[in-house]
Amino acid sequence: MTTPEMNFLRMAEAVIAVLKLFTAKFGLAPKLQVLYDLLTEMVDTVHAKNQQLVLENDFATVKEEKRDELEKGAEELVNKIQLYANMENDSLTKGKTNLYFTDLHSVSGDKLVDTCISIHTLATLLVAKLADYKVLPATLADFMKQITAFSELLSAPRMDISARAATNKEITKIISEIRALLNDKMDKSMNTIKNTETEFFAAYTGARVIVDRLGKRRQTKPADETTGMISGTITDTETGEPLTDVIVLMEGLAEATTTDEDGTFMFDGVSAGLHNITCTLELYKSLTLTGIVVKAGEETETEGNMDKG
């Protein structure tokens, strides 16, 4: 999800927390309860779909970790089998373990699984003789769990690029629907109780100000506010089309943000003063926006055009 989407989702979660709290106190009106249930369902759906993308992005890392664990477990087991073979002068077993050592460092994927299964099979046949070398049935059971975990990872269904893109679009669509539900329905329902349930209404409006620039901002400037916000749009110089996934970095901040499908980005909680922003995107020349003035409690809008490299 883009930064604005994440911000809006946090706001929706804050609203849900308020509604849940006051539901526990005195219950909600039927219409508001329906909206609350719908909002909760949509937020849960976004989290579930985003988790799919997170797992997909982490797949390569997890796969490498599981492979390393499996290879380490296989090496330890082969070492113990080879120690037994040397001590007992078992030339046949010694020859097999030499082949296994070679395979462990030269194969991957399903072939690695096959090699590990062969190692497990050999150790199982020799388990009584390997007891003196600290190879027990429990050891072999743990090793088989490693084999199974890695094998399942290899066979797990993968999301191709188009599927990931479709999931991202669906997340964006649901968040848009959440925004519409809050702005058009939830706010109207809450307005009917603002004079009778003042504590509830105040808590709700407090949650609603945790919002990105695409929502309705109701927050007035606090007396002690010292920060503001920068929002901007990045487009292609030649076509004028918005650029998605531009990496936007502000001087002095360790974390960057990215533009969404509308080419927009946002930095919140920015200290008052002058700021510079650098934008980078593959196949485009780097762009620097300088001298952006941020005033406390206000939103500063900026825009930039990027040239193809």
Alpha helices in the chain (DSSP H): 3-26, 30-88, 91-104, 109-125, 127-130, 137-155, 161-180, 187-191, 198-208
3-state SS class at 211: coil
* pLDDT reported for residue 264: 87
Contacting residues for 144 by C-beta, under 8 A, at least 6 apart: 120
pLDDT at 75: 94
Q: What does residue 201 show for φ and ψ, rounded to 5 degrees?
A: -65, -40
pLDDT value of residue 81: 95
Q: What is the pLDDT of residue 290?
A: 93
Q: Which residue has the tokens 């100000």?
A: 209
Report the alpha-carbon distance of residue 158 to residue 56 in Å, rounded: 8
CATH of the structural domain 225-309, one choice from 1.10.3720.10, 3.90.1150.10, 3.10.129.10, 2.60.40.1120:
2.60.40.1120
| pTM assigned to the model | 0.44
User: Cβ distance 116 to 70 under 8 Å?
Assistant: yes
- What confidence score (pLDDT) does residue 32 get? 83
For the chain of 309 residues, list the mean pLDDT of each consecutive stretch of 10: 73 88 75 88 90 72 84 94 93 92 87 94 94 92 93 76 81 89 86 85 79 42 64 91 90 78 83 92 92 88 91
Residue count of the chain, please give it.
309
Q: What is the pLDDT of residue 297?
A: 78
For residue 190, which amino acid is it?
M
Strand pairing class (227-236; 299-306): parallel
Helix extents (H) in 196-298: 198-208
What is the domain partition of the chain in residue ranges? Answer: 1-215, 225-309
Q: Are strands 264-271 and 273-280 parallel, antiparallel or unpaired?
A: unpaired
Coil/strand/helix, residue 303: strand
Residues 259, 40, 54, 252, CA torsion sign: positive
**Strand duo 273-280 + 287-294: pairing:** antiparallel
b/e per residue 138-147 (b: at least 16 CB within 10 A): ebbeebeebb
pLDDT, residue 106, reads 86
Residue 254: its pLDDT value, please?
Answer: 64
